[in-house]
């Protein structure tokens, strides 16, 4: 999800019903020193460093946007937080990324082996600002005795909760597990109960496909979700395949006819870099649809997507005219809100109830 969780996908996910959205993991040193720049036409806020945009966000998503931070140093974590604090609802310290770039810096899953270091950024962050800290964490390896599966995790979670975090996300796979292996959802229940007792919301991640398999996820988690011990289920790969997986009523929408044109309009309206938009669309599964395309149609679309070198060519592949492309580009902030009407309405209710952050 490093390149998928960008602004267009986040806004469309919110419109389909996502309750929180996370940005891509940004390393502390990358965002520190970045200059905040606002495009007053689109409303997009960009953090620019050395002539390159490090992170983009929008006031429209702010009430439910979590900035995902990669850090192993409490001072750098606080410094990074201060750069983005006015534009996000919370900051999540990534404690589960198994990628080499993260591990080599002592970040991500490497923090699981160093609880003292892990808890230092967490304990420093709440004191730094009002932005609510979140600590996404992967599971440590299971104990030898299956009956004590959660034992390695419980002491760590207790320490993390003691730092004053506002939210905990548990990725139900260990560092060495592959995505093809079933998530260890059964280990959620004791962790969820611990968080529940501490009054800290907990999010479960692993094998979720949206509402389609929500009941199955509830059962596999030992009833933790259904018992309301778990406050939410995080989706990643299913959202990558078809972001309408967050849609509660009516099931998935058709990628070719509905979801991709919607994403393209939002990407144009926010001036998202074309290479990132193309990456997002190519990661989607056109068969994740109520009406999957034929093999020939799928092959033709994928070929045109791969060959497209501009927004115009990509939009043409999905039946959007040149006039539609220009209207989306010129939409401005008001036009952007019209592209995500359900989220815009929900956002107004959130602001009425909670106030502007």
Q: So which residues are the catalytic ones?
A: 97
Provide, for the chain, the percentages of residues in helix, strand and coil under a 3-state DSSP scheme, each rounded to the nearest 5. Answer: 50, 15, 35
Q: How far apart, in whole angstroms, are the C-alpha atoms of residue 347 and residue 19?
A: 11
**Helix or strand holding residue 104 (H, E):** helix 100-104
Q: Is 328 exposed, middle or buried (0-12, 13-18, 19+ CB in 10 A)?
A: buried
Which residues lie closer than 8 Å to 27 by C-beta, 6 or more apart? 69, 70, 71, 102, 105, 107
Q: At 24, give phi and psi (nearest 5°).
A: -65, 155
Token pair of 104 as six digits: 């080599």
C-alpha neighbours within 13 Å on the C-beta side of residue 117? 17
Measured distance CA(344)–CA(326) in Å, rounded: 22
Q: How many CB atoms lie within 10 A of CB 97?
A: 22
One DSSP character per residue, 321-343 reads -HHHHHHHHT-HHHHHHHHSHHH
End-to-end CA distance of the chain: 26
256: phi then psi, degrees, rounded to nearest 5: -65, -45
Q: At what angle do helices 153-162 and 115-128 cross, to 10 degrees?
A: 30
Q: How far is it, in rounded angstroms, from Cα 170 to Cα 192?
A: 9
As given in the structure block, the two tokens for residue 68 are 């995902």
Closest CA to 63 of 113, 7, 21, 2: 21
Quote the CA–CA distance of 37 and 27 in Å, as a whole number: 19
Pull the structure tokens for residue 79: 């410094």
Cβ neighbours of residue 14 closer than 8 Å, sequence gap 6 or more: 21, 61, 64, 340, 343, 346
């Amino acid at each position: 999800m490093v390149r998928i969780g960008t602004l267009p996908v986040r806004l469309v996910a919110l419109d389909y019903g996502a309750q929180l959205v996370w940005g891509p993991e940004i390393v502390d040193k990358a965002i520190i020193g970045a200059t905040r720049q606002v495009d007053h036409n689109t409303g997009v806020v960009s953090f620019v460093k050395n002539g390159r945009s490090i992170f983009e966000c929008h006031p429209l998503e702010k009430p439910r946007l979590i900035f995902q931070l990669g850090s192993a140093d409490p001072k750098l974590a606080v410094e990074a937080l201060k750069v983005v604090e006015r534009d996000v609802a919370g900051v999540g310290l990534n404690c589960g990324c198994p990628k080499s770039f993260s591990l080599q810096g002592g970040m991500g899953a490497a923090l699981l082996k160093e609880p003292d270091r892990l808890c230092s950024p967490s304990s420093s962050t709440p004191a730094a600002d009002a932005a609510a800290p979140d600590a996404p964490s992967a599971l440590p390896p299971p104990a030898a005795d299956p009956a004590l599966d959660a034992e390695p995790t419980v002491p760590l979670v207790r320490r993390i909760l003691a730092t004053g975090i506002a939210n905990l996300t548990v990725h139900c796979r260990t560092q060495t597990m592959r995505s093809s292996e079933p998530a260890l959802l059964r280990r959620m229940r004791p962790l969820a109960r611990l968080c529940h007792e501490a009054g800290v919301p907990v999010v479960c991640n692993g094998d979720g496909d949206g509402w389609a398999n929500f009941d199955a996820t509830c059962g596999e988690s030992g009833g933790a979700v259904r018992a309301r011990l778990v406050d939410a289920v995080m989706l990643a790969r299913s959202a990558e395949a078809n972001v309408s997986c967050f849609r509660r009523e009516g099931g998935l929408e058709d990628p070719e006819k509905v979801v991709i044109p919607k994403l393209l309009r939002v990407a144009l309206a926010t001036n998202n870099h074309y290479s990132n938009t193309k990456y997002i669309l190519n990661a989607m599964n056109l068969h994740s649809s109520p009406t999957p395309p034929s093999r020939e149609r799928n092959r033709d679309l994928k070929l045109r997507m791969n060959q497209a070198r501009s927004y115009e060519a990509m939009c043409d592949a999905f039946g959007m005219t040149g006039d539609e492309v220009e209207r989306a580009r010129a939409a401005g902030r008001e036009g952007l809100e019209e592209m995500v009407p359900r989220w815009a309405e929900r956002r107004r209710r959130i602001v009425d109830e909670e106030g502007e952050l």
